Chain A
Amino acid sequence: MNAGELSTLLVWAAGLTYTIALVAYTTVLARIAEARPRAAKAAAAVTSPPVAAPVAGVSVAASVAVGAGRTAVLDRPSGASTPPAAGGSAGASIGADAGAPDAGRRAAGIARSMTYLGLTFGFVAVVLRGIAAGRWPTANMYEFTLVGSTMAIAVLVLVQRRNQIPFLGVLVTGAAALALFLGVNVFYIRAEGVQPALQSYWLVIHVGVAITSSGIFAVAAATSVVQLMRARREEGSTLLAGRRWGWIDAVPDSRTLEALSFRLNAVGFVLWTFTLIAGSIWAEHAWGRYWGWDPKEVGTFVVWVIYAAYLHARTTRGWAGSRAAYFVLVGFTAVIANFTVINLFVTGRHSYSGI
């Protein structure tokens, strides 16, 4: 077996691992949904609201008390009691949620380790692909899906270190698994060198940064989806009211999610701006003009403008919050369209899908 074949095998392995992580994250969600009513009953027996007992030097996860569907996070001893904040950062405490049964905790553990394992597989697959092709592995759609999903999972891992949001895990591992299976089945082409137009260090810089920002946008979009669901439930939506959606209460509140999504999008946007500039420099070298309204260039420009509109929306009255989240979704849809529709159905100078 050569490096290329091993890489493909690892892509399959990563896809399967993400799928297992997906199932595990879903289980965590289900457990949370089940645990909510039970926790509520349990809490009713205790005097509520819970009073913060000073616990010095204890880790955050351990200093979480579960109240009637609410979680209060305690700080260093202050002597003052902290009223429970709805939702608080309960997302951070899935593993320690007193209401969640062992199964939930086990599933969370599996989800986490499978995500890490998949990330490792994905990373090694990328490296082997590069070795097999004898170049940086970002030259066609297959490689883009491979590197892009690995990036998205890496961002997920980083985000989850701070905020364990199982639903985000479901979305991102699901999308990554889908992308990988689609990649090996539809976009796959042999590992090989590339045509002269792609023989440039800009392949590393421009495409590498594009993939990275796409991965970040993906996680941000997933966060915005959770934010919108949470906002709906906070507003008392009948659609999301049922017990099945109980897990939504366990994610951070919509404002926190919006802030998280914004932070990711801000990083993604700066990288996307860089992608745009680097692409123009490369186009100037390879094609003799820095901008030519090639379909791919238009797509990248549209994505950029949408995210710029999003940044303005956030500071405009009436457009913040949920409306801003819709911008994120429109923006990410444009990212996906720019990758799929433009590559596959529109002819332009960027026709390097290899299919």
Chain B
Amino acid sequence: MSGYRPDGLEDAFTADEPGRTGATTDDTATDAAAVSDVDVVSAGTMPDVQVPRIGIVGWLRWIWRQLSSMRVALMLLMLLAVAAVPGTIFPQHAQDPAKVAAYLADHQALGPWLERLQLFDVYSSVWFSAIYLLLFVSLVACIVPRTRVHLTAVRSRPPRVPRRFDRFPAQGGLTTTATPQQVVESAAAALRGRWRWLPRFRVDVSTAGGESTVAAERGYLRETGNLVFHLSLVGLLIAIATGQMLHYRGQALVVQGHGFANAVVDYDTFERGTAFNPSSLVPFSLRLDSFSARFSPVSLQPRDFTADVTVTQPDGSASAQQIKVNHPLDVGGANVYLQGNGYAPDVVVHDSAGNVAFSGPVPFLPQNSVYTSLGVIKVPDVTSGDQIGFRAALLPTAQRDTDGVWQSVAPQPANPLMVLTVWTGNLGLDTGVPQNVYKLDTSHLKQVMGPDGQAVSLTVQPGETVDLPNGLGTLTFKALPRYVALDLRYDPALSEVLVFALLALAGLATSLFTPRRRVWLRAGVAADGRTVVTAAALARGDDIGLQPELDRVLAVVGRDLGIAEDEMTRVAAVGDDASAVHDARAAQENEDPEEHR
């Protein structure tokens, strides 16, 4: 192969000049890299020499060459690893916006700088994107020439038999009374293997020039696997990006006995990709019939959450379904996940005039493992006078400790109790600014105090009604239904993502575990009339199975031709340490080759 050669394809392995091929494996890799570096230079790409003459196109070519070099890929990979780290150090908008806000509040001076450097949006930042996009450009720059080279390689014949075998890492030989012709035929059969349609080695037999030789090569799949792997990474990136563009995600809080429709307006939060198509929102509806939770009696850790729902399809057909953690519901091409749960006390507030001012379940947010939950009840629609607001805590299994403080001791509603404080004034709901339903804006509210000057605190259990202070009315705790937080996600590229990921895995394993080997054998007639056979083998990369492979072939030949064991020779490679070591390892391997394979 002349001229430019992609990185990682080892010239020494391809070249059949014995002097160079003799060096073992990794040394050859280094040699090869050296060679290709030299090639890059000689191809006229060094800037200081060529810049004046090469112009824009030359520059682009130079950049392309740089991008397709393994060294640049290596740098970019290391950069990518480093660049991913800050995302675990600083809070991220995408994962936890509240934490980012808290961080910004705590770090008045530093915060804005970090914000400017996009350190709160690391994974969508310009610099992170630049690194991985460059890496993928580099990847393409790398695989295009490699694919071309490989396509030639898979159609090529094994390289011709080297003149000398003495520097190869694996060698062997035998003498026999059989003819050279018989020997090479037997060896070729052994190398091809049992299945005609799936030969282990690609084999060339030659009997030209009074000498019978066999040249064989295997492991083309190694490079195929490598290319499949790298190409799959590109496919993976494209699939992920496609999914990102087409996806939508909605979150809804659903109380027992209630439901929602799959429509943008019905979600508490709704997020979509840039190429989102509203027709992908299949208009089914879903109702939460019941929700059950189980907890470990010992650690109070959750053990099971199950939501029983009724799904009504657009055509009106309804079916009962179940959603559990780890078992999302597949409906309308989207998946519905059970993401959270809690209690939504069902309350009725009568105002001072005796009219119903508020009625319905109010979702509370669980704060700990025993489901101590906090919530806010806002009553804007009173007949007359000030609006009313409540801050409430729900204790599912309430117990009074020795100090007289109420506490929840278990997550299940064994002894539910709601503790409320009361506020009056203006809830601020008319300002047009959306309000957090879990927070009471107290800027225009006054807390109701008792005659003792202490804040009034009401306690109420399901089924009970309490009078509000100052004749404000009454509050009834009707029931304690649960709610679930559902997450609905539609991503049409999921299967593509999975396929490319698995292809990458398969390609990787193939390329890492497929041995690439060459075996040569030469049979000639000696002065005594006997046939002298010598053989050598070479592998790409470290290959402990190389000598055993050669031994196997010779053993088959020996068996075929009825040669006694003591006529078989195996010449230990001489010269450099590495090959001796290699051979030593092979010798051990040889003790029971099957077992370690």
Binding site for B on A (CB under 8 A): 59-60, 73, 75-80, 82-83, 85-89, 92, 162, 190, 192-197, 199-200, 252-253, 255-256, 258-259, 262-263, 266, 269-270, 273-274, 277, 280-281, 284-295, 298-299, 301-302, 305-306, 308-309, 312-321, 334, 342, 346, 348
Residue of A nearest to B303 (CB): A193
Q: How far is the CB of A234 from chain B (nearest CB, A)?
A: 10
Q: How far is the CB of A282 from chain B (nearest CB, A)?
A: 8
Query: Given A82-B572, A88-B580, A320-B29, A287–B84 Cβ distance below 8 Å?
Result: no
Q: How far is the CB of B563 from chain A (nearest CB, A)?
A: 15
Instruction: Enumerate the 7 nearest inter-chain pairs by beta-carbon distance, A residue then B residue, closest first.
Output: A317-B33, A85-B580, A196-B325, A288-B337, A259-B542, A73-B584, A89-B584
Q: Is the CB of A195 within 8 A of B74?
A: no
Q: Identify 18 new A-B residue pairs, CB closer than 8 A, beyond the known A252-B581, A284-B494, A316-B7.
A: A78-B569, A88-B584, A92-B584, A192-B299, A193-B303, A196-B304, A199-B304, A255-B26, A255-B577, A255-B578, A259-B26, A281-B498, A288-B337, A288-B489, A309-B77, A312-B77, A317-B37, A320-B30
User: Of B33, B296, B502, which one neighbours A316 at CB under 8 angstroms?
Assistant: B33
Interface set, chain B 248-277, CB cutoff 8 A to A: 249
Residue B70 is within 8 A (CB to CB) of chain A in the complex? yes
Q: Is the CB of B70 within 8 A of A315?
A: yes
Chain B residues near A92 (CB, 8 Å)?
A: 584, 588
Residue of A nearest to B578 (CB): A255
Q: How far is the CB of B558 from chain A (nearest CB, A)?
A: 13
User: Of B301, B566, B591, which one neighbours A195 at CB under 8 angstroms?
Assistant: B301
User: Of A78, A289, A290, A305, which one neighbours B572 at CB under 8 angstroms?
Assistant: A78
Query: Given A88-B584, A193-B303, A290–B571 Cβ distance below 8 Å?
Result: no
Q: How far is the CB of B111 from chain A (nearest CB, A)?
A: 20
Q: Is the CB of B501 within 8 A of A277?
A: yes
Q: Is the CB of A270 within 8 A of B327?
A: no
Q: Can you offer 21 A-B residue contacts whose CB atoms are under 8 A?
A: A59-B591, A60-B588, A73-B580, A83-B580, A88-B580, A190-B299, A193-B296, A193-B301, A193-B303, A262-B542, A270-B512, A277-B502, A277-B505, A280-B501, A289-B489, A293-B87, A294-B95, A298-B88, A305-B78, A314-B26, A315-B7
Q: Is the CB of B580 within 8 A of A299?
A: no
Interface set, chain B 318-353, CB cutoff 8 A to A: 324-328, 335, 337, 339
Residue of A nearest to B579 (CB): A85
Q: Is the CB of B335 within 8 A of A196?
A: no
Q: How far is the CB of B101 from chain A (nearest CB, A)?
A: 16
Chain B residues near A277 (CB, 8 Å)?
A: 501-502, 505
User: Of B30, B505, B542, B572, which one neighbours A270 at CB under 8 angstroms?
Assistant: B505
Bound-state CA distance A228–B155 (Å) is: 41
Chain B residues near A299 (CB, 8 Å)?
A: 88
Chain B residues near A280 (CB, 8 Å)?
A: 501
User: Of B84, B584, B588, which one neighbours A85 at CB under 8 angstroms?
Assistant: B584
Residue B94 is within 8 A (CB to CB) of chain A in the complex? yes
Q: Is the CB of A192 within 8 A of B29?
A: no
Residue B127 is within 8 A (CB to CB) of chain A in the complex? no
- Label chain B's interface by main secondary structure: helix
Q: Is the CB of B26 within 8 A of A302?
A: no
Residue B60 is within 8 A (CB to CB) of chain A in the complex? no
Q: Is the CB of B581 within 8 A of A301?
A: no
Chain A residues near B405 (CB, 8 Å)?
A: none
User: Of A59, A78, A318, which one neighbours B571 at CB under 8 angstroms?
Assistant: A78
Residue B585 is within 8 A (CB to CB) of chain A in the complex? yes
Bound-state CA distance A302–B501 (Å) is: 17
Bound-state CA distance A253–B580 (Å) is: 11
Q: Is the CB of A87 within 8 A of B577?
A: yes
Q: Is the CB of A292 within 8 A of B95?
A: yes
Q: How far is the CB of B183 from chain A (nearest CB, A)?
A: 20
Contact with A along B61-96 (1 / 0, CB 8 A): 000000000110110011011001101100010110
Q: With contacts defined as CB atoms under 8 Å apart, how many contacts are there between chain A and chain B in the complex?
A: 192
Chain B residues near A255 (CB, 8 Å)?
A: 26, 577-578, 581
Residue of A nearest to B171 (CB): A78
Residue of B nearest to A324 (CB): B26
Q: How far is the CB of A344 from chain B (nearest CB, A)?
A: 13
Query: Given A75-B570, A288-B337, A288-B489, A309–B542 Cβ distance below 8 Å?
Result: no
Residue B508 is within 8 A (CB to CB) of chain A in the complex? yes
Interface set, chain B 277-324, CB cutoff 8 A to A: 296, 298-299, 301-305, 324
User: Of A73, A75, A298, which one neighbours B85 at CB under 8 angstroms?
Assistant: A298
Bound-state CA distance A286–B80 (Å) is: 27
Interface set, chain B 41-70, CB cutoff 8 A to A: 70
Q: Is the CB of B95 within 8 A of A60?
A: no
Chain B residues near A273 (CB, 8 Å)?
A: 504-505, 508
Which of A190, A263, A293, A346 has the most chain B CB atoms inside 10 A of its CB? Answer: A293
Chain B residues near A262 (CB, 8 Å)?
A: 542
Residue of A nearest to B80 (CB): A305
Chain A residues near B33 (CB, 8 Å)?
A: 315-318
Chain B residues near A334 (CB, 8 Å)?
A: 81
Q: How far is the CB of B120 from chain A (nearest CB, A)?
A: 12
Residue B574 is within 8 A (CB to CB) of chain A in the complex? yes
Which of B26, B249, B566, B570 has the most chain A CB atoms inside 10 A of its CB? Answer: B26
User: Of A162, A291, A317, which one neighbours B596 at CB under 8 angstroms?
Assistant: A162
Query: Given A85-B577, A269-B512, A263–B542 Cβ distance below 8 Å?
Result: yes
Q: Is the CB of A196 within 8 A of B81?
A: no
Which of B88, B94, B240, B497 has the most chain A CB atoms inside 10 A of its CB? Answer: B88
Q: How far is the CB of B5 from chain A (nearest CB, A)?
A: 13
Contact with A along B203-233 (1 / 0, CB 8 A): 0000000000000000000000000000000
Query: Given A92-B588, A252-B581, A293-B94, A288–B84 Cβ distance below 8 Å?
Result: no
Chain B residues near A253 (CB, 8 Å)?
A: 577-578, 581
Chain B residues near A289 (CB, 8 Å)?
A: 489
Q: How far is the CB of A267 from chain B (nearest CB, A)?
A: 8
Residue B11 is within 8 A (CB to CB) of chain A in the complex? no
Q: Is the CB of B71 within 8 A of A293?
A: no
Bound-state CA distance A280–B497 (Å) is: 10
Q: How far is the CB of B490 from chain A (nearest CB, A)?
A: 11
Q: How far is the CB of B473 from chain A (nearest CB, A)?
A: 41
Bound-state CA distance A259–B539 (Å) is: 13
Q: Is the CB of A196 within 8 A of B588?
A: no
Query: Given A274-B505, A286-B326, A290-B497, A266–B512 Cβ distance below 8 Å?
Result: yes
User: Of A86, A288, A316, A342, which one neighbours B339 at CB under 8 angstroms?
Assistant: A288
Bound-state CA distance A288–B574 (Å) is: 60
Q: Is the CB of A285 within 8 A of B327?
A: yes
Query: Given A273-B504, A293-B94, A342-B88, A306–B74 Cβ distance below 8 Å?
Result: no
